[in-house]
Amino acid sequence: MNAGILGLGRYLPDKIVTNADLEKIMDTSDEWIRTRTGIEERRIANDDIDTSDMAYEAAKAALKNAEISAEEIDLILVATVTPDQSFPSVACMIQEKLGAMKAAAMDVSAACAGFMYAMITAQQFIQSGAYKHVLIVGVEKLSKVTNWEDRNTAVLFGDGAGAAVLGPVSDGKGVLSFELGADGTGGKHLLQEGDFIHMNGREVFKFAVRQMGESSLGVLDKAGLTKEDVDLLVPHQANIRIMEASRERLGLPLEKMTKTVHKYGNTSSASIPMALVEEMEAGRIKDNDLIVMVGFGGGLTWGAIALRWGK
Ligand code: UT7
């Protein structure tokens, strides 16, 4: 049984924080942020909106888009490193809100690669025939673990949520191949210590450029495809320079790579599903398109998926 995406949804906080806003509260500049990261603005959730609220809104939108009711969901997986609390999980919280009472529910912790991990976990359950419909959400309220006095990290992140309903699709469609990986020896380069995120930007940058390229080529190879077959590259939206390096490694023209980092910053596990929604809403994804998604993050973790769009 092949597993594919039946529907997508997202939630974006209303509040926009621009680089000019950040210039007022820390020693940084719009010019530095734009040229080093490609980020122009990001969304920040209000205090009364927590991770589960954003996850719920994105999940509701994905169910509607998939035309699947909450009662038909067998499993809920929420990829997040910023849950409301350690337990109950965000997945259990949205199970109640959605009324998805038949569903098993758990959170997945793989940082920015979390949505890739959740999608492949879902795919395995569907492929085996154990479950039919799996709801996956990538959601982060990174603003609550951001040290607003640390310009090395504060300018990079944003809040948001993206969700997908996965289910059986016809032969040749859906997930064609995947690669997931981890390297705990690099955990020290990107972590939450105490209340805040700490990062060795240069080390993460080097790892990301290498891994994004290798994993993208790896999934194409596993699927028996080549760079020329790719219709759309959806990289984790962390930094435009890292994204560009992946695009160049695949030899793709500009228009074949999704770019949302300028508007939303790095939203960790939410970045790939939010980017997919953006492409879907713009009408840029067509039936049978070959999409390569690739992410990397704290852990260190990484993941890539080659997916043939359509049901
Ligand atoms: O989802 C995964 C999350 N993490 C990532 O994706 C991060 C990957 N790494 C990066 O994106 C880049 O390394 C950064 C954007 C974080 C930094 O860019 P860089 O080109 O590697 O800069 P750098 O760390 O080498 O810093 C260059 C300079 C430093 O000044 P000195 O020491 O050369 O005088 C920093 O202090 O830029 C300074 N700097 C800033 N200046 C203005 C660092 N942050 C800022 C800032 N505004 N916000």
Give the 3-state secondary structure of residue 256: helix
Q: Which of 19, 112, 189, 239 is catalytic?
A: 112
Exposed e or buried b per residue across 36-72, where buried means at least 16 C-beta atoms within 10 angstroms of its C-beta: ebbbbbbbbbeeebbbbbbbbbbbbbbbebbebebeb
Q: Which atom of ligand 1 is nearest to the CA of 154?
A: 48
The answer to whether residues 58 and 141 touch, using CB atoms and an 8 Å cutoff, is no
pTM (2 d.p.) = 0.97
Res 1: pLDDT: 85
> What is the C-alpha separation between 241 and 143, in angstroms, rounded?
23
Contact criterion met (CB below 8 Å) for 198 and 270: no
Residue of the CA atom closest to atom 25 of ligand 1: 202
Please list the helix, strand and coil fractions of the chain in percent, rounded to the nearest 5, in that order. Answer: 40, 25, 30
pLDDT tens string, the chain, 311 residues long: the values are 899 999 999 999 999 999 999 999 999 999 999 999 999 999 999 999 999 999 999 999 999 999 999 999 999 999 999 999 999 999 999 999 999 999 999 999 999 999 999 999 999 999 999 999 999 999 999 999 999 999 999 999 999 999 999 999 999 999 999 999 999 999 999 999 999 999 999 999 999 999 999 999 999 999 999 999 999 999 999 999 999 999 999 999 999 999 999 999 999 999 999 999 999 999 999 999 999 999 999 999 999 999 999 99
DSSP for 24-44? HHSS--HHHHHHHH---EEE-
Q: How far is the CA of 163 from the centre of ligand 1 (A)?
A: 30
- Would you say 220 and 229 are in contact if contact means Cβ atoms under 8 Å apart? yes
What is the CA(92)–ligand 1 centre distance, in A? 37
Identify residue 96 by its one-letter amino acid code: E
Residue 105 in tokens:
């529910």
Distances 29 to 19, 154, 171 between C-alpha atoms, Å? 7, 12, 51
> Rounded to the nearest 5°, which phi and psi values hold at 281?
-65, -30
Cα angle 265, 268, 274; round to 5: 70
Q: Go through the domains of the chain in sequence order and give each one's CATH number.
A: 3-168 (3.40.47.10), 174-308 (3.40.47.10)
Alpha carbon distances (Å) from 307 to 75, 174, 189, 223, 232:
21, 5, 30, 10, 10
- φ, ψ for residue 22 (rounded to 5)? -70, -35
* Burial of residue 128, with CB atoms counted within 10 A of its CB: 0-12 exposed, 13-18 middle, 19 or more buried: exposed
The finding on whether 146 has its CB within 6 A of some atom of ligand 1 is no
108 C-alpha vs ligand 1 centroid, how far in Å?
Answer: 28
Single-letter residue type at 1: M
